[in-house]
Structure 1
Amino acid sequence: MDRLEELVNQWIWRQDFWLPPGLTWKDIAEGTADGGRHPVPRDLLLSVPLALGFIALRFVFERVVALPLSRRLGVRDRVWVRVMPVLKLEAFYLQKKQQPSQNDLLVLEKHCGLTPHQIQTWLRHRRNQDRPGNTRKFCEASWRFVFYLMAFSAGLVSLINTPWFWDHRECWRGYPRQVVAEAQYWYYIVELSFYLSLLLCVSVDIKRKDFKEQIIHHIATIFLITFSYCANYVRVGTLVMLVHDSSDFLLESAKMFSYAGWRKTCNTLFVVFTAVFLVTRLVVFPFRIIYTAVVDSLDVFPPYSGYYFLNGLLLVLQALHIFWAWLILRMVHKFVFLGKVERDERSDEESEADEEEEDEGGEEEHSCILLSCVEMCECSAVALVFKIWHWWTTGKDLRRHLVVKCPLVLVILLLKEFVVFCQMALWLCIALPIEESGDFSLEHVPKGIVEFEEAYVGPLIYTICSKG
């Protein structure tokens, strides 16, 4: 047994890899023995049972807290058509779970006696049955929201009074003889345990569009936390974790309100999240934290294996930040030009191959249609504000436009709202009984609600405002 431990220490905990040249594990222990904790690799073993504890706690939280909360907030799941059992098609679906090729359709047609269209329809409905509902998504998002919020709050409280929080060069002053405070130690253990629990639950969680990137992120984070603790890079490691937690809880809260249908709250949180994410991940992280790890650390020790390993992991995280920032900016583009966040491009949609079928035939949830109708007047008002600003900047007679044309525009908007109200009342009388019967489809929604806005109101307002 002693021989095995000696081999493990020789190959895994090699001092020339983990520590700068000329330093040993005793140097770290001797430097932090005076009232503080010195980082020992075996301390991290506590994260394994804590990760299992997080999984159990999550199971209880989602059922005791998140599920009742989702009902209170009005989270609703879509009801999908149940398919008749067909053994051959079921076996094909369980084996491939993707769109069948032409050859597959020919083979299935012979074995099942169904037309290709019927086979595709059956497979589409079968895939829809396995789609996770909004309630399940809400529960997952609420669990991550609670953790990220508590982790960020605790991390900020434990770091805000430290010198390296304000001056990142302090991360390397006195290295490696730096005391690790008890709060920082538990910050490390809790964060490592949480990411281990996420990695262990990846097979049962909702598979998202950035599934591979999330796996890479979790693995890189686990390696980074482990290495930085063992090599006593705790100061820079705590800054990395704090920067990541600062925006994650905003994203999860925006998801929660999105699943609940609280569009305006979701949009507001999305704007705040975008600003925080872009500042922390594309400015603070590369130009402050990575810079101090790459440049400032060279004032203390020369480059060595651990130096390249640490900075390599930081660059992997930064590459993922750029990828996610690109997805978020795509959402910003949709938000600016469409007026709402339709999808969470970052990680909110499951990654089935037939993802576009969720909105097949132009169907949307009727709550979104109601919201769009309510926001029509707001969009027209915003357009009018921009037109007034244009009059001002081009030097036209603002008073004449405001006195003569604005009342006419407002009358048109009021007439439009009256027509929309009548159409919506008619639609509700038709749609609500259908919805209660379980055969609800937005094909029953009158197209004139949107067509009236696009074909008559917009051009008429533009014509009135443009002629001067």
Structure 2
Amino acid sequence: MEALLNQWLWRQEYWLPPGVTWEDIKETENVLYPRPCHLFFGIPCALILVGLRFIFERIVALPLSKKMGIREKFKRKPSIKPILEDFYTKNGKHPTELEVLSLSAECNMQIRQVERWFRDRRNQDRSSTTKKFCEASWRFIIYLISFLIGVAVLIDKPWFWDQREFWTDYPYQPLVSSLYWYYMLQLGFYSSMLITLAFDVKRKDLKEQIVHHFATIFLITFSYCANYMRAGTLVMLLHDAADHFLELAKMCNYSKWKRMCNILFVIFALVFIVTRLYLLPTRIIYSTYYYSMLRFQPFFGYYFFNALLMILQILHMFWAYMILRMMYRFTFTGKLGNDVRSDVEDSDDSGQESKKSSEVEKKRGHWGSNNNCMSRKVIENGVIHNSHSKTS
């Protein structure tokens, strides 16, 4: 496996500066350099973290959620309607008014009953508040531990204070055991997040999260193999600096501790902007883009590493826009709203949809209460036939 990777993926002309080979940074009795094979340990690390998360959520997070006052709302179970279930699965969760008319006639139900069935069915699919709280608790613990470990590992390193030290003696920088284990923790954590993504709460920024995780894993992997570990450790530390505040804010939000939630979100926003919109581009990206060329000529790895950093920076700008929009709302209204703290998964819409249903019913008059007389007229006139043709 290692020979195959070295032949097709870890080719020295891709990842090392011109004139440097893997043999030049081969480990000796006294000095150990980063090697691609070292990263295989990230796989068991990811599996271990998945197991630890399973244990933590049930032994620690679940009892903690009850102590913090989280109570689940009653979710009314929808009646068994094969036609409606088939439509829900194949056509979507939010039928149009014409589709509701068609389904009400097909199932011999009132319009309001069909709308209520879809509302109840959507609420059945939504993740519980307890599940969201447990996820946030696990991420809070991991981000906090990772940040504290990062500070302890890097505080005495010269490149922590002066980013030009990234390139001193590069690429002949020996592997430090503390940096290696810090890398394995980060690689295992982000890999475990990809493994459990299918079972986690679905959020509206899911695509951006997937891109972010893949870009981070590629950065960790490449920066280790090309011995960009000094820059890589600072990138990881800056990411962890803000994330644990966000997860703690989510925990307070689920527990209805609104004031504490708002305070933590403001702290998160300030730390996020300072670390990812100021320190990352002006200290790290500037060093990898400019100072590195004082040491060697640009090569494929140079462009690849900086491209991954720019992808992360674009994602940071996207999330910063969302954060600043929430901060603007908070400044002028005193509230952050329902889509705060980057936790933008769909929420329970029973109250909102009930109000909407009432308004629609008022506009319809007695349309839905008189045994669907109007819907049958529409069907006889062929309108619903056109709707069926469109959906099929």
CA–CA distance in 2 between the matches of 1:66 and 1:270? 21
Alignment of 1:118-267 (within 5 A): 118-267=113-262
Give the secondary-structure state (helix, strand or coil) at the position aligned to 2:142.
helix
> What is the aligned partner in structure 1 of residue 71 from structure 2?
76
The structure 2 residue matched to 1:295, chosen from 285, 290, 296, is 290
**Separation in 2 of the partners of 1:115 and 1:344?**
33
Structure 1 pair 5/221, CA: closer, same or farther in 2 (3 Å)? closer
**Cα distance change of structure 1 residues 362 and 138 upon mapping to structure 2, 3 Å threshold:** farther
Aligned to 1:274: 269
- TM alignment of 1:44-443, pairs within 5 A: 44-102=39-97, 104-345=99-340, 347-351=342-346, 359-360=352-353
Q: Distance in 1 between matches of 2:304 and 2:267?
A: 33
Question: What is the aligned partner in structure 1 of residue 26 from structure 2?
Answer: 29
Is the alpha carbon distance of 1:151 and 1:7 closer, same or farther for their aligned partners in structure 2, counting shifts above 3 Å? closer
Paired residue for 2:7, among 7, 10, 14? 10
CA contact (8 A) 2:2 2:37 kept: no
Given residue 151 of structure 1, which amino acid in structure 2 is its aligned partner? S
Distance in 2, Cα, partners of 1:93 & 1:276: 42
Considering Cα pairs closer than 8 Å and 6+ residues apart, tell me whether 1 or 2 has the greater RCO.
Answer: 2
Q: Distance in 2 between matches of 1:356 and 1:281?
A: 34
1:325 maps to amino acid: A
Deviations 1:3-25 (A, max 9, x none): x7644422111111111111111
Describe the SS at the equivalent of 2:40. helix
Q: Whole-Å Cα distance in 2 between the matches of residues 36 and 156 of structure 1?
A: 25
Q: Offset at 1:132?
A: 1.3
Report the residue type matching 2:207 in the other structure. K
85 and 158 in structure 1: CA distance in 2 versus 1, 3 angstrom threshold: same
Q: How does 1:426-465 map to 2 (within 5 A)?
A: none
Q: CA deviation at 1:110?
A: 4.2
The separation in 1 between residues aligned to 2:254 and 2:191, in whole angstroms, is 26
Output the CA distance in 2 between the equivalents of 1:339 and 1:138: 24
> Matched residues in 2 for 1:279 and 1:54: separation?
30
Question: 2: CA distance between counterparts of 1:358 and 1:198?
Answer: 33
CA distance in structure 2 between the aligned counterparts of 1:308 and 1:356, rounded to whole angstroms = 47
Shift in Å at residue 322 of structure 1?
Answer: 0.4
* CA deviation after TM superposition for structure 1 residue 92, in Å: 1.9
Name the TM-score, length of structure 2 as normaliser: 0.86
Gaps of 5+ in 1: 364-468
Q: Which amino acid aligns with 2:336?
A: V
AA at the equivalent of 2:12: Q
* DSSP-derived class of the 1:175 partner: coil
Q: How many angstroms apart in 2 are the aligned matches of 1:35 and 1:73?
A: 53
Alignment CA distance shift 1:7-1:192 (3 Å): closer
What is the root-mean-square deviation in Å for CA atoms of aligned residues?
A: 2.0
- CA gap 1:51/1:7 in 2 versus in 1, 3 angstroms: closer
Q: Does the CA-based 8 Å contact 2:119-2:353 persist in structure 1?
A: no
The AA in structure 2 aligned to 1:342 is G
Aligned AA (1:119): V
For 2:31 and 2:200, the matched residues in 1 are separated by 39
If the length of structure 1 is used for normalisation, what is the TM-score? Answer: 0.73
Give the length in aligned residue pairs: 356
1:28: how far off? Answer: 1.9
Structure 2: runs of 5 or more not aligned: 357-392
User: Is contact 1:209-1:346 (8 Å) kept?
Assistant: no
Mapped to 1, the partners of 2:30 and 2:92 lie a distance apart of: 58
Report the Cα distance in structure 2 between the residues aligned to 1:329 and 1:68, rounded to whole angstroms.
Answer: 34
> Would the alpha carbon gap of residues 7 and 157 (structure 1) be closer, same or farther in structure 2, given more than 3 Å must change?
closer
Residues 252-291 of structure 1: per-residue CA shift (max 9 Å, x gap): 0010011111111111111111110110010001111110
Whether the aligned pair in 1 keeps the contact of 2:187 and 2:217 (CA below 8 Å) is yes
- Partners of 2:163 and 2:283 within 8 A in 1: yes
Instruction: State the identity as a percent.
Output: 51
Counterparts of 1:148 and 1:257, CA distance in 2: 17
Counterpart CA distance in 1 for 2:2 and 2:326 is 52
> Paired residue for 1:387?
none
